[in-house]
Amino acid sequence: MDIGQVLTEIEDHVVPRLKLDVGEARLYYHLLRHSRFVGKHDVLISVAQLAEVLNCSKNTVKHRLRTLQDKKIIDVTNTGWAGTRIKVFLPTEIQGAVPDETAPQVQDIEAIDFYKDTKYRPAILEREQGRCFYCRRTLTDEDSGLDHAEPQRANGTNSYRNVVAACHSCNSSKGDDTAEEFVRKLYRRGFLGAAELEERLADVAKLKQGLLRPII
Ligand SMILES: [Zn+2]
């Protein structure tokens, strides 16, 4: 087995597509390590052991086992006195987790016009977790739109590295400010706290570096 390939599939497909949180991913890695990575299909382990290894409560382990099972990443086949027998699936064995190589090629995200192509709007909204990129207010259908972090007049592009979801108020008051200038203004006007300002500035930096990729 090519473990590097498996890890790449987990990072590139399983985690974003099945929305694994850090705890679920950690548990999945641990279970893989003791099953598929050593040539077995399943692992017999107790919840108490897992709680100790993962440094969390037994309830947390049980919850994560349930969510991994719901996502069809594992199958808890038997719980008995000797522990819990868990069948562990590889990314390619999880339905819908890894794109089929024979399927049409996924569009190159760098080439997509996220401002003009409206079908990608939900992906931007989801990346922003349904909140305005600048003031973090929860967006509604009536009060949301797309905005350029770096203004178009300053050669801001329509890439996911520059297009954000914003509320109407931010959209109209930002004008030709850069995203950094604008969130500082929001801070001075009392719409953002100091910690929020730092977070917004960090997100602006991440956006520009291409680290805030929407899932398309
Ligand atoms: Zn806003």
| Parent domain of 129 | 112-208
204/149 Cα distance (integer angstroms) = 8
Domain boundary among 30, 61, 93: 93
Q: CATH number of the domain at 145, please.
A: 3.40.1800
Residue in the block written with tokens 């192509």: 117
Q: What pLDDT score does 106 carry?
A: 61
* CB of 35 closer than 8 Å to CB of 43: yes
Tally the C-alpha atoms within 13 A of residue 178's C-alpha that lie toward its C-beta.
Answer: 10
pLDDT tens-digit map of 188-206? 999 999 999 999 999 999 9
More confident of the two residues 3 and 104: 3
Q: Is residue 56 part of a domain?
A: yes
Q: How confident is the model at residue 102 (pLDDT cuts 50, 70, 90)?
A: low
216 CA distance to ligand 1 middle (Å): 24
pLDDT of residue 105: 59
Residue 103 has pLDDT above 60, yes or no: no
CATH of the domain at 9: 1.10.10.10
Q: Both 116 and 204 in a single domain?
A: yes
Q: Do residues 12 and 47 touch, judged by C-beta distance below 8 A?
A: no
Is residue 107 one of the residues assigned to a domain?
Answer: no
pLDDT tens per residue, range 107-166: 789 999 999 999 999 999 999 999 999 999 999 999 999 999 999 888 899 999 999 999
Is residue 86 located within the same domain as residue 125? no
3-state secondary structure of 126: helix
Judgement on whether residues 40 and 120 belong to the same structural domain of the protein = no
26/170 Cα distance (integer angstroms): 38
Judge if 89 and 116 occupy the same domain.
no
Residues 89 and 91: their CA atoms lie apart, in Å, by 6
**What Rg, from alpha-carbon coordinates, does the chain have?**
22
Which H/E stretch holds residue 25? helix 22-33
Query: Above 80 in pLDDT, residue 101?
Result: no
Looking at the fold, whether 51 and 84 belong to one and the same domain comes out as: yes
Give the Å distance between the CA of 188 and the centre of ligand 1: 15
Q: What percent of the chain has pLDDT over 70?
A: 97
Which class for 49: exposed (0-12), middle (13-18), buried (19 or more C-beta within 10 A)?
Answer: middle
Whether residue 142 is found in the same domain as residue 189: yes
Q: What is the pLDDT of residue 157?
A: 95
Give me ligand 1 centre to Cα 181, in Å: 14
Distance 18 CA to ligand 1 centre (A): 29
Cα of 197 to ligand 1 centre, how many Å? 13
In the chain, the percentage of residues whose pLDDT exceeds 90 is 84
Compute the distance from residue 191 Cα to the ligand 1 centre, in Å.
Answer: 9
How much is the average pLDDT of 77-100?
88
- Whole-number Å distance, alpha carbon 198 to ligand 1 midpoint, is 16
How close is the Cα of 149 to the center of ligand 1, in Å? 12
- Has residue 136 been placed in a domain? yes
Same domain, yes or no: 84 and 151:
no
The count of structural domains within the chain is 2
CA of 110 to the centre of ligand 1 (A): 26
Instruction: Answer whether 90's CB lies under 8 Å from 55's CB.
Output: no
The answer to whether residue 100 scores a pLDDT higher than 80 is no
Same structural domain, 64 and 146: no
Tell me how crowded residue 138 is: count the other CB atoms within 10 A of its CB.
11
Ranges 73-82, 89-98, 132-141, most confident? 132-141
Whether ipTM exceeds 0.95: yes
**Cα 171 to averaged position of ligand 1 atoms, centre (Å):** 7
Please check whether residues 119 and 81 belong to one and the same domain: no
Residue 43, phi then psi, degrees to nearest 5: -135, 140
Ligand 1 centroid to 169 CA: how many Å? 6
- Please report which confidence band the pLDDT of residue 104 belongs to, taking 50, 70 and 90 as the band edges: low
How many A from CA of 174 to the centre of ligand 1? 9
Which of 93, 124, 145 corresponds to the end of one domain? 93
The answer to the question of residue 98 being in a domain is no
